[in-house]
Amino acid sequence: MSEIYLHQIFAGRRNPSRNRLLCLCYGLETSLEETQELLKQCGLAQLYPKIRCDTIIVYGLLHEISLFEINDQLFNQNEETLC
């Protein structure tokens, strides 16, 4: 993500997509609880473990797996990657 895009998000001038926000959460190394709260505050769907892609993301957050590895797992499961 570009610095300008991030500044616009933090200034409230842009609303990130759910996947972009999840990438941002990985970059900020937020916990699962913090990630869920950010999704909620942005009016986006929280991570739901019964959805395969969300399960992979939750597992990654809980086990501090890198975004690269999460995207690799999503790709291997034919799911949309985060960024």
Flag whether 82 is in a domain. no
Flag whether 24 is in a domain. yes
**Full residue range of the structural domain in which residue 63 is found:** 3-76
Cα–Cα separations (whole angstroms), residue 52 to 2, 23, 31, 71, 76: 29, 17, 19, 13, 12
Flag whether 38 is in a domain. yes
pLDDT at 9: 74
Number of domains making up the chain: 1
pLDDT at 14: 77
Per-residue pLDDT tens digits of the chain, which is 83 residues long: 667 777 677 777 778 889 989 998 998 899 999 999 989 988 899 999 999 999 999 999 999 999 999 999 999 999 999 98
Cβ atoms within 10 Å of 82's Cβ, excluding its own: 22
